[in-house]
Amino acid sequence: MIKIPTHILLVDDEKDFVEMLALRLNETGEKVTPAYDGQMGLDILKRENIDVVILDIKMPGMDGIQVLREIKSLYPLVEVILLTGHGSAETAVEGMKLGAFDYLLKPADADELTAKLQGAREKKEAQEERIRKAEVRLLLRKGGNI
């Protein structure tokens, strides 16, 4: 079966880390768009069809939690996986209460990342499928009233 790539937006202010992780994800067949700060990430979300955002919490300017709030208010179906150091795991849990799918401790273990990405994508697809079915039901009901 042909794998449909997950379109991932990777937002982190550490360029080396972004490049390394993007390379790794590309090798596993995913499509990655990099961003180096929160605003850049939000601009990309505006014009590209992103499935999952991998989002660093500690960034200069807009931090990851602020970016997460924006994403969840503008694109509620986009799933977010937070990236954090050991020092800010509590912030990551707060982020999950704001709608993040999960979080990962840096430097992001490959297997753990793969599993969480898959979980995030499945959650998004299941929700989109429920919405499609609800829309069909709505159309059928409207049709019945004609």
Binding site for Mg ion (CB under 5 A): 13, 56, 58-59
Q: Give the residue at shortest CB distance from Mg ion.
A: 58
Rounded CA gap, 68 and 65, in Å? 5
- Closest distance of CB 13 from Mg ion, Å: 4
- Would you say 40 or 119 has its CB closer to Mg ion? 40
- Closest distance of CB 59 from Mg ion, Å: 5
Rounded CA gap, 19 and 25, in Å? 10
- Closest distance of CB 129 from Mg ion, Å: 34
- Would you say 13 or 30 has its CB closer to Mg ion? 13
- Closest distance of CB 121 from Mg ion, Å: 24
- Would you say 6 or 84 has its CB closer to Mg ion? 84
Residues 51, 8 contacting (CB under 8 angstroms): yes
Rounded CA gap, 119 and 114, in Å? 9
Long-range contacts of 138-142 (CB under 8 A, 24+ apart): none
- Would you say 6 or 88 has its CB closer to Mg ion? 88
